Structure 1
């Protein structure tokens, strides 16, 4: 949706509590300056980011709305959407019964930059600003550990730095990486997350210079949005079939902003192929779908919609009701209003699981 037309009184009276696992506060490069050394600040202003994509600045595709955001999310001070905490509280944090909201900063973060040292410096700065610029002002806002995920050693350093800090919810990766996430070059990332006791959140997008499809670049933004699902399927298949979950039984993965309608069919297809080709992957000790159900959580937004509501219920049942967590994607144009997002047929217990209990359990928010 683009404009919130009503603010129902029920929001202030409801007993519902919400843990939103995906919001996108916006920072500027100036916000990160206090947390960058002179070397890296000079590098940033002189050379800028070096992303692996056709455009060094801007998006590969024009978005549905400017900054991919709701038209009503631009704050009165003229800043970018979700850059003003007071306006964010008025429009979102206080307008709904938000208990916690997990920040997944998309830019500027340095993730995927071609200069791995610069990427590490930017990740550190982005993490510091999440704490000082956001969480310190409102403790409902939990940070993600932004990491230079293409550099396993640098990622380990950053995750270790944040390991004992309860203000961080998970380690943040992107779906469009230089290689498939099951490859061993990324295993140090998983080891670091496990050592820190943190899940890994894998959010769609990235600047690897690769399209979401398995071939070329799509022509339209609508294609790019649709193909997030195929990109996520490739990454999940890689994690499962390369043996990541067998090697790291404690690893917990959250697929963020990718929908989830693709999960059952991917599991079915991998199981079918595994029955015939299991000799090729002897490191797998059980069916691929079992690894998916044990190790993968999903966020709700952007939830698939169907004219046959039971199909959606069946899909969610296959994934597991304890593996589904609410996300709004605030302030983006396809924001999901918590009071309109879930299937109306869900009972109160199931709604509470999705809105808060599953996230509380995964992120140990009651500990």
Structure 2
């Protein structure tokens, strides 16, 4: 790739980006760590739906909003008034601005090609893909915009991506500011190919325990589809507005909202009301979970009357929930991480996630290289747990199948 010296800030028009070259070191890791021997499932990865927003806008049913969306676009002050430019570090994380220049064949949808490339480079066989700018449309003051865009995106994703690529799945976006729309979304898309659950963006101000969502939870439980709470941040939150650096709002915001929702989920007895509904807590890291276990257990033992539906301590329910690994806090104190794994029953409840292509992504080696995990636990976290949770039919990458066949022939 051409050097970026003497290039005007923000001017990347002359560059051609190559995902496979960008992830060459990740691919080398996948070759030396025996990833060929087992399934790897990435439960939290992303694409940039704004790159296909012209296609998605055509799925918007409301003609006025459709025209508005086509005119204004989606991100950076567009129809949703969302700005996520801080994550790009002013263009220093090159895969953000350069991915638009990457050349792809015209015979396959661009998003499928780009997803395949990074998955193959990392050794990932299957991935659950989420949108990126849309994770913040829950903060848009116009509820109709969230509902219309969510349905348009879900239809576009099912029709153009999930229907065409068996290695790709998704937990579809629920417009949580409209409970009835959430229920309709599950009813309409719950049986579509590649749909393995539904996702709520954490940055909203609706109580997850509100009876308005009972129909949605019941519909998910009936279909054996998990509900995920995907962390995000908003600088518009009154508490987060006190911070003055991205590192601050990211460190706290991605945890705080999910902590509040889990607190309400537990204290209001949702695990007892919907005992077969599985919950997945996405992209909040892991360090906050032991804290909340201890804090809630301590409070519960003094005021159990405040949570009359619970039959066990809050931590007992939390150990039955599922968590995605990224961004796993890789601090110097490895004993703290090992204790965290033990407290959350990680061997069966932790799901590997890369969060690619975001700036703080984690490779599969983040899990595979942990010295306190045995081989079976590594394989379960990297893919086996997700296969069981989502009832996946394994689909291996073409490269992994080719290498397997070569080994078999040699033997």
Bucket of the pairwise TM-score, normalised by the shorter protein: 0.7 to 0.9
**Is the Cα contact below 8 Å between 2:45 and 2:129 reproduced in 1?**
yes
| Aligned counterparts, 1:261-272, within 5 A | 261-272=287-298
| CA distance in 2 between partners of 1:164 and 1:326 (Å) | 25
| CA distance in 2 between partners of 1:125 and 1:234 (Å) | 29
Given candidates 35, 39, 44, the residue that maps to 1:22 is 44
Given candidates 259, 264, 274, the residue that maps to 2:300 is 274
Counterpart for residue 40 of structure 1: 65
**Is the Cα contact below 8 Å between 2:57 and 2:70 reproduced in 1?**
no
SS at match of 1:98: coil
Counterpart for residue 241 of structure 1: 267
Deviates more, 1:103-112 or 1:123-132: 103-112
Given candidates 316, 319, 330, the residue that maps to 2:341 is 316
| CA distance in 2 between partners of 1:362 and 1:65 (Å) | 35
- Label 1:224 to 1:72 Cα distance change in 2 as closer, same or farther (>3 A): closer
| CA distance in 1 between partners of 2:147 and 2:100 (Å) | 34
**Is the Cα contact below 8 Å between 1:263 and 1:319 reproduced in 2?**
yes
Counterpart for residue 74 of structure 1: 98
**Higher CA-based Rg:** 2
Counterpart for residue 351 of structure 1: 378
1:74-130 alpha-carbon deviations (Å, 9 max, x no partner): 336359xx964334423x122233221001113347545433333222111111222
Q: Once the 2 structures are TM-superposed, how far is the Cα of residue 273 of structure 1 from its aligned partner?
A: 0.9
Consecutive unaligned residues of structure 1, counting only runs of 5 or more, are none
SS at match of 2:294: helix
Counterpart for residue 402 of structure 2: none
- Label 1:311 to 1:208 Cα distance change in 2 as closer, same or farther (>3 A): closer
1:6-31 alpha-carbon deviations (Å, 9 max, x no partner): 23143787313211001111122212
Deviates more, 1:16-25 or 1:160-169: 160-169
1:211-241 alpha-carbon deviations (Å, 9 max, x no partner): 5x4x644211111111022332222111101
Q: 1:293 aligned to 2:328?
A: no
Q: Once the 2 structures are TM-superposed, how far is the Cα of residue 32 of structure 1 from its aligned partner?
A: 0.4
Counterpart for residue 176 of structure 1: 203
Q: Once the 2 structures are TM-superposed, how far is the Cα of residue 281 of structure 1 from its aligned partner?
A: 2.4
| Aligned counterparts, 1:1-367, within 5 A | 4=23, 6=25, 7-8=27-28, 9-10=31-32, 14-28=36-50, 29-37=53-61, 38-45=63-70, 56-59=81-84, 62-65=86-89, 71=95, 74-75=98-99, 77=101, 84-90=111-117, 92-108=118-134, 110-205=137-232, 209-210=236-237, 213=239, 216-227=241-252, 228-294=254-320, 296-320=321-345, 321-342=347-368, 343-366=370-393
Deviates more, 1:340-349 or 1:276-285: 340-349
**Is the Cα contact below 8 Å between 2:353 and 2:362 reproduced in 1?**
yes
Q: Once the 2 structures are TM-superposed, how far is the Cα of residue 270 of structure 1 from its aligned partner?
A: 0.8
| CA distance in 2 between partners of 1:361 and 1:339 (Å) | 21
**Is the Cα contact below 8 Å between 2:47 and 2:131 reproduced in 1?**
yes
| CA distance in 1 between partners of 2:362 and 2:283 (Å) | 11
Consecutive unaligned residues of structure 2, counting only runs of 5 or more, are 1-21, 104-108, 395-411
**Is the Cα contact below 8 Å between 2:75 and 2:83 reproduced in 1?**
no
| Number of residue-to-residue matches in the alignment | 359
Greater helix share, structure number: 2
- Label 1:66 to 1:158 Cα distance change in 2 as closer, same or farther (>3 A): farther
Q: Once the 2 structures are TM-superposed, how far is the Cα of residue 184 of structure 1 from its aligned partner?
A: 3.4
TM-score of the superposed pair, with normalisation by structure 2: 0.78
